[in-house]
Amino acid sequence: MKKNYKIILIVIGLAGILWSFRQQQVVKDKKAAIITGVNRVIEYAHYHPAYVNNDFSEKVFKEFIEDLDPSKRYFLQSDIDALSAYKDSIDNEIREGKSDFYKKAYAIIQQRQAESVDYINDILAKGFDFNKDEILNIDYKKIKPAKTKAELKERWRKYLKFNTLSRLYDKIKAQEKKLEKDHTFKPKSRKELEKEALKATKKSIKTYIDALKDMEDMDYFSMYMNAITMQNDPHTNYFSPQGKERFDTSMSGSFEGIGARLQKDGDYVKIIEIIAGGPAWKEGKLKVGDLIQKVGQGDDEPVDIMGMRLSKVVKLIKGPKGTVVKLIVKRVDGSIETIPIVRDRVELEDTFAKSLLISDKDKRFGYIYLPKFYINFKKRNQRSAATDIKKELEKLKAKNVKGIILDLRNNGGGSLSTVIDIAGYFIDKGPVVQVRDKKNDVEVLKDKDKEIIYNGPVVVLINELSASASEILAAALQDYNRAIIIGGKSYGKGTVQNLIGLNRVQGDAFGDLGALKWTTKKFYRINGGSTQRKGVTPDIFLPDNYMYLKIREENEPTALAWDKIDAADYHLYSIPQKQKLIQEEQKRINHTPLFKHLKEKAKWIADNKKDQTIYLKLDKYIADLKKSEKTGKKFDSLTKFKSDFDIESLPEDIQAKAKDTVFKHKRKKWINAIKKDPYINEAVKVLRKETTQ
Q: Which helix (H) or strand (E) holds 291?
A: strand 291-297
Domain of 73, in residue numbers: 50-231
* Rounded Cα gap, residues 160 and 165, in angstroms: 8
Instruction: Look at residue 297 and tell me if it is in a domain.
Output: yes
Q: Are residues 342 and 357 in the same domain?
A: no
Q: Are 534 and 492 in contact (CB under 8 A)?
A: yes
Written as one letter, the residue type at 489 is K
Pick the last residue of a domain from 320, 347, 374: 347
CATH number of the domain bearing residue 319? 2.30.42.10
CATH number of the domain bearing residue 374? 3.90.226.10
Written as one letter, the residue type at 252 is S
* Rounded Cα gap, residues 129 and 618, in angstroms: 9
pLDDT at 306 (0 to 100): 83
Instruction: Look at residue 534 and tell me if it is in a domain.
Output: yes
Q: Are residues 462 and 586 in the same domain?
A: yes
Q: In total, how many domains does the chain have? A: 3
**SS3 labels along 446-508:** EECCCCCCCCCCEEEEECCCCCCHHHHHHHHHHHCCCCEEEECCCCCCCEEEEEEECHHHHCC
Estimate to the nearest angstrom the gap between the alpha carbon of 564 and the chain centroid.
27
Pairing of strands 495-501, 363-369: unpaired
Q: Is the dihedral of CA 289, 295, 286, 312 positive or negative?
A: positive
Instruction: Look at residue 6 and tell me if it is in a domain.
Output: no
**How many C-beta atoms surround the C-beta of residue 477 within 10 A?**
24
Q: Are residues 550 and 408 in the same domain?
A: yes
* Rounded Cα gap, residues 561 and 398, in angstroms: 45
* Rounded Cα gap, residues 553 and 535, in angstroms: 9
Residues 6+ apart with CB under 8 A from 586: 540, 541
- The catalytic residues are 468, 479, 493
pLDDT at 16 (0 to 100): 42
**SS3 labels along 396-431:** HHHCCCCCEEEECCCCCCECHHHHHHHHHCCCCCEE
DSSP for 637-653, written as a single string: GGGG-----EEE--HHH
Q: Are residues 69 and 204 in the same domain?
A: yes
* Rounded Cα gap, residues 476 and 419, in angstroms: 10
* Rounded Cα gap, residues 423 and 407, in angstroms: 14
Q: Are residues 329 and 225 in the same domain?
A: no
Instruction: Look at residue 4 and tell me if it is in a domain.
Output: no
End-to-end CA distance of the chain: 33
* Rounded Cα gap, residues 375 and 394, in angstroms: 20
Instruction: Look at residue 8 and tell me if it is in a domain.
Output: no
The pLDDT tens digits for 522-544 are 999 999 999 999 999 999 999 99
Q: Are residues 437 and 554 in the same domain?
A: yes
Q: Which helix (H) or strand (E) holds 198?
A: helix 190-214
Instruction: Look at residue 12 and tell me if it is in a domain.
Output: no
The pLDDT tens digits for 461-470 are 999 999 999 9
Pairing of strands 336-342, 324-330: antiparallel
Instruction: Look at residue 1 and tell me if it is in a domain.
Output: no
Q: Are residues 245 and 301 in the same domain?
A: yes
Q: What is the pTM of this model?
A: 0.80
Q: Are residues 517 and 665 in the same domain?
A: yes
Q: Are residues 493 and 632 in the same domain?
A: yes
DSSP for 109-135, written as a single string: HHHHHHHHHHHHHHHHHH---TTS--E
Closest among 349, 348, 367, 347 to 357, alpha carbons compared = 367
Q: What are the residue ranges in the chain where pLDDT is below 70?
A: 1-26, 244-255, 266, 276-277, 347-350, 377-381, 662, 693
Instruction: Look at residue 382 and tell me if it is in a domain.
Output: yes
* Rounded Cα gap, residues 354 and 335, in angstroms: 33
**How many C-beta atoms surround the C-beta of residue 144 within 10 A?**
9
Pick the last residue of a domain from 188, 210, 231: 231
Pairing of strands 237-239, 291-297: unpaired
Q: Are residues 197 and 142 in the same domain?
A: yes
Q: Are residues 177 and 156 in the same domain?
A: yes
pLDDT at 345 (0 to 100): 76
* Rounded Cα gap, residues 487 and 464, in angstroms: 9
Q: Are residues 459 and 548 in the same domain?
A: yes
Pick the last residue of a domain from 209, 231, 253: 231
DSSP 380: T
